[in-house]
């Protein structure tokens, strides 16, 4: 769990990076209607959550570094007996001050009265402009209110600065408490993949494997899948974000499962590919071993100080060499890399930052140079080979085959830690588990 004190320390750190005489305004995510009276499950905006842990919609966090009457204000819904009977408990401002260690909290309905007063005299506003058009309009109307009173000595802010940049850099480096949650998300997700492997038999439906995976997430205390689970049998694995999950998996086919849970706001992201009948064919083994070698070589390169792209470069080198050795690519390896010939079979990059979001925040380059790995960063390593069912340029035995292997790697002081090592990935270990 992230303690109220850790959230408070995050707000302090953010305020220490803000310019003198500035204000930050951070909004909660809106609720979204799914159809008529049903809503999508509510998901708090991750950066709002990162700064205060407050999980309710219709909330606004305001940071005012140096303000003597209180630097951190929260606007939230009031307690409401009737609404709480229908929609669930609300914190209310009084409890929010105690539970979330903000300096002051007010009903969200009072924001029009209070916010212009605290904006006035602040020169710079840190805000995620353009993400929430309704709130953008509100903010501009408060600023215009101050402008209208300028001849009476009011001073409107003159500068807007992107808030996300500062928060994203903080979110990129995980604290010990965050890593503990990510380790747990990884453990649960690994168990879920093992469960799917064990239950797998020819003729099983993709949604049945999805159900096994998500059952393990939920009984283990995860709040939800961190993204829509991808379960693709046979050629469906060639669709990178295949989420239909309705088809039967035939004997002799591989299944590609890309699924990870969200645990206390932190995501895991694992992919495993295995033969539905528990035994790799010769062709499946050949492709699988290339992807596995690409992944191991890439992971080995993830150490503090190494540039971000070492992992991707390693996967490209191994996959290109492997495809050439199998005759799926033709030519000199160096040239096949140079011309990106491998992209026909490996069309995505080797990974992304991972954290509160599955595709997490943080820049990959600084001043156009790949940034270097630092302790506390978490990155996925997920090479794959996808041979289109329509690729008539390759022998028929290869067509429609898809393999991806994905794990979550945390950079440590001395190297890295695999957060998702609980699910097997060598062919031998997978076959052993599936036979048990």
Kindly list the catalytic residues: 37, 241, 258, 269, 348, 352, 359, 382, 386, 404, 406
Phi, psi of 396 (to 5 degrees): -60, -35
Measured from the CB atom, is 91 or 420 closer to Mn ion? Answer: 420
**Residue 120 or 406 having the CB closest to Mn ion:** 406
Query: What is the helix (H) or strand (E) element at residue 61, kind and residue range?
Result: strand 60-63
- Hey, what are 366's tokens? 């600084």
Contact criterion met (CB below 8 Å) for 68 and 56: no
Q: How far is the CB of 213 from ligand GLY (least distance, A)?
A: 13
Binding partner of residue 227 among ligand GLY, Mn ion, none, CB cut-off 5 to 8 Å per kind: ligand GLY
CA distances from 73 to 62, 229, 434 (A): 5, 38, 54
Burial zone of 202 (CB within 10 Å; 0-12 exposed, 13-18 middle, 19+ buried) = middle
Q: Which is nearer to ligand GLY, 210 or 321 (CB)?
A: 210
DSSP H stretches of helix in 227-357: 282-300, 310-325, 333-338
Residue with smaller CB distance to Mn ion, 214 or 269: 269
Question: For Mn ion, what does the binding mask look like between residues 267 and 286, x meaning CB under 5 A?
Answer: --x-----------------
Least distance between ligand GLY and beta carbon 380 (Å): 6
Neighbours of 219 (CB within 10 A): 11
For Mn ion, the closer of residues 178 and 360 by Cβ is 360
Whole-number minimum distance, CB 168 to ligand GLY, in Å? 18
Binding mask 284-323 for Mn ion (x = CB under 5 A): ----------------------------------------
Q: Answer with the entry of ligand GLY, Mn ion, none that 212 interacts with (C-beta below 5 to 8 A by kind).
A: none
Phi, psi of 366 (to 5 degrees): -125, 125
Cα Dmax for the chain:
82
| Member of 120, 214, 258, 297 binding Mn ion (CB under 5 A) | 258
Residues 195-254 that bind Mn ion (CB under 5 A): none
Q: Using an 8 Å Cβ cutoff, are 153 and 120 in contact?
A: no
List contacts with ligand GLY (CB under 6 A).
227, 258, 269, 352, 358, 382, 406
Q: Is 360 in the site for Mn ion (CB under 5 A)?
A: no
Residue 23 β-bridge partners: 125
Binding mask 396-425 for Mn ion (x = CB under 5 A): ----------x-------------------
Whole-number Å distance between alpha carbons of 293 and 418 = 16
The smaller minimum CB distance to Mn ion, of residues 262 and 406, is found at 406
Q: What is the DSSP secondary structure assignment for residue 40, as one 8-state letter? A: P
| CA separation for the pair 126, 22 (Å, rounded) | 7
CB of 416 to ligand GLY, least distance (A): 18
> Least distance to Mn ion from the beta carbon of 372, Å?
21
Q: Out of Mn ion, ligand GLY, none, which partner does residue 407 contact, by CB within 5 to 8 A per kind?
A: none
Task: Output the CA angle 218-223-225, nearest 5 degrees.
Answer: 75
Smallest gap from Cβ 359 to ligand GLY, in A, equals 6
Map tokens 């990178």 to a residue: 240
Residue closer to Mn ion by CB (options 212, 357) is 357
Question: Collapsing DSSP states into helix, strand and coil, what is residue 352?
Answer: coil
Q: Which of 277, 320, 380, 420 binds Mn ion (CB under 5 A)?
A: 380
Which residue in the shown chain puts its C-beta closest to ligand GLY? 258
* Helix residue ranges per DSSP H, 90-152: 92-100, 111-119, 133-148
Binding site for Mn ion (CB under 5 A): 258, 269, 380, 406
């Amino acid at each position: 769990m992230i303690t109220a004190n850790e959230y408070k320390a995050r707000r302090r750190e953010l305020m220490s990076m803000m310019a003198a005489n500035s204000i930050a305004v951070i909004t909660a995510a809106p609720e979204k209607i799914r159809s008529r009276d049903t809503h999508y499950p509510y998901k708090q905006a991750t950066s709002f959550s990162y700064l205060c842990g407050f999980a309710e919609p219709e909330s606004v966090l305001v940071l005012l570094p140096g303000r003597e009457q209180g630097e951190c204000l929260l606007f939230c819904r009031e307690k409401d007996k009737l609404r709480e009977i229908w929609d669930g408990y609300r914190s209310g401002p009084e409890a929010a001050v105690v539970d979330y260690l903000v300096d002051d909290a007010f009903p969200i309905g009072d924001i029009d009265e209070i916010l212009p007063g605290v904006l006035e005299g602040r020169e710079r506003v840190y805000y995620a402009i353009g993400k929430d058009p309704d709130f953008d309009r509100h903010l501009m109307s408060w600023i215009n209110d101050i402008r209208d009173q300028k001849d009476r000595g009011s001073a409107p802010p003159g500068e807007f600065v992107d808030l996300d940049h500062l928060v994203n850099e903080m979110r990129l480096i995980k604290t010990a408490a965050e890593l503990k949650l990510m380790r747990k998300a990884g453990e649960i997700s690994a168990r879920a993949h093992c469960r799917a492997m064990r239950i797998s038999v020819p003729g099983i439906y993709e949604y049945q494997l999805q159900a096994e995976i998500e059952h393990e997430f939920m009984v283990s205390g995860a709040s939800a899948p961190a993204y829509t689970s991808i379960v693709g049998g046979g050629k469906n694995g060639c669709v990178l974000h295949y989420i239909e999950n309705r088809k039967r998996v035939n004997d002799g086919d591989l299944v590609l499962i890309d699924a990870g849970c969200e645990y206390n706001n932190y995501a895991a992201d694992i992919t495993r590919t295995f033969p539905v009948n528990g035994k790799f064919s010769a062709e499946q083994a050949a492709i699988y071993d290339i992807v596995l070698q690409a992944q191991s070589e890439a992971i080995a390169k993830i150490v503090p100080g190494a540039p971000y792209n070492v992992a991707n470069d390693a996967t490209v080198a191994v996959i290109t060499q492997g495809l050439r050795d199998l005759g799926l690519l033709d030519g000199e390896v160096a040239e096949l890399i140079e011309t990106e010939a491998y992209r026909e079979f490996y069309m995505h990059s080797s990974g992304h930052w991972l954290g509160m979001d599955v595709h997490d925040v943080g820049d990959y380059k600084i001043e156009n140079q790949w940034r270097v790995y630092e302790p506390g960063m978490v990155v996925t390593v997920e090479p794959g080979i996808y041979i289109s069912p329509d690729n008539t340029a390759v022998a028929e035995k290869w067509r429609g085959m898809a393999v991806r292997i994905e794990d979550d790697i945390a950079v440590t002081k001395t190297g890295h830690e695999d957060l998702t090592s609980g699910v097997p990935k060598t062919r031998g270990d997978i076959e052993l588990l599936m036979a048990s």
